[in-house]
Amino acid sequence: MVIGRNEGTRLIAGLDALAGRVARVIYVDSGSTDDSVAAARARGAEVVALDLSRPFTAARARNAGLALLDPEETPLVQLLDGDCVLRDGWLDTAAAFLAANPDTAVVCGRRRERHPEASIYNALCDAEWNTPVGPAKACGGDALMRLSALAQVGGFRDDLIAGEEPELCVRLRSLGWAIHRLDAEMTWHDAAITRFSQWWRRSQRAGHAFAEGAALHGAPPERHWVRETRRALIWGAALPAVAVSGALITPWALLLLATYPAQIARLTPRLGLAGAAFAVLGKLPEAQGALAHSLGRARGKRRAILEYKR
């Protein structure tokens, strides 16, 4: 099952890679204005076009596609984002693992950027995808899942604008299901981030997801994304606010800003200079996203989806 919105040639490549590998292809479109729907139909996919009278989210799109499947007829479903291409051998490897591990609901593998050399932002995404193998707390948008397990927890939360997969995994694990990441090539991904503004919006979305995840499952013992939210707010909001406001009393307060290069230096041995610099800088847009969620929650309003590929 593939979801997408205006993915163009990326979607076509992803659908072509599924030919002959799966029994059924479902494509859920979230209001594309390009030829995505026609291209999917031309390749034999069953197309679901979301009703745009309601705000669209990736979670809502996934649920719309899953609603067409019967766990008795389709025990396993491969979820894919529209900017991803499945790798050779992944389905056999992942299905064999699930067959041998009946307590596992979700299995994922190595997602790699198609063009990490195209921009520093793509390279950062490629590093982000490289999470540890073995038992995991969460998966991303590409994963092979047991449809019965998804049905047991009611699928994805339609209203989440980001972070819907980790939130789903929290609920799966609470019922005793396991999540696992294999040391196997799973998908090519095309982030297509070439501008600083795109990276900034993507980081804002991450901060929003952190705060919303913490609001939903932040209580012990899960503490879902509490640490990530706290870090974003301290480094991206509290510290600069204290430094600037303190400078109204004494200019020495601006020395607090020296903690940023110190933090970059601390992280550089592990992340490299560029990775460390963007990790620290990223706390600013993450804090914006987290604060936007808190403000919207206080007002009883939900934020529309944040798109960065534009």
| Burial degree of 208 (CB within 10 A; 0-12, 13-18, 19+) | buried
Secondary structure of residue 29 in the 3-state scheme: strand
Chain position carrying tokens 């019922």: 175
Count of beta carbons in the 10 Å neighbourhood of residue 226 = 18
The answer, yes or no, to whether residue 43 has pLDDT greater than 80, is yes
pLDDT band (50, 70, 90) for residue 310: low
192-211 pLDDT tens trace = 999 999 999 999 999 999 99
Alpha helices in 9-116 (DSSP H): 9-18, 36-42, 58-66, 90-100
Beta bridge pairs of residue 284: none
β-pairing, 2-4 vs 26-29, is parallel
- What is d(CA 6, CA 121) in angstroms, rounded to the nearest whole number? 20
The ranges assigned to domains in the chain are 2-194, 214-299
The answer, yes or no, to whether residue 65 has pLDDT greater than 90, is yes
Token duo for residue 212:
């919303």
101-131 pLDDT tens trace = 999 999 999 999 999 999 999 999 999 999 9
Cβ 202 vs Cβ 193: under 8 Å: yes
Token duo for residue 215:
């609001």
Return the amino acid letter for 114.
R
The answer, yes or no, to whether residue 247 has pLDDT greater than 70, is yes
The whole-number pLDDT of residue 286 equals 98
220-246 pLDDT tens trace = 999 999 999 999 999 999 999 999 999
The whole-number pLDDT of residue 22 equals 92
Q: Which of 46-55, 87-96, 284-293 has the lowest mean pLDDT?
A: 46-55
pLDDT band (50, 70, 90) for residue 309: confident
168-187 pLDDT tens trace = 999 999 999 999 999 999 99
CATH of 2-194, one of 3.90.550.10, 3.90.170.10, 1.10.10.10, 3.40.50.11890: 3.90.550.10
Task: State pTM to two decimals.
Answer: 0.92
Chain position carrying tokens 């030919």: 19
Cα four-point dihedral sign 108, 136, 74, 213: negative
24-37 pLDDT tens trace = 999 999 988 999 99
Return the amino acid letter for 224.
H
Cβ 215 vs Cβ 302: under 8 Å: no
The whole-number pLDDT of residue 38 equals 94
The tally of CA atoms less than 13 A away on the side-chain side of residue 128 is: 17
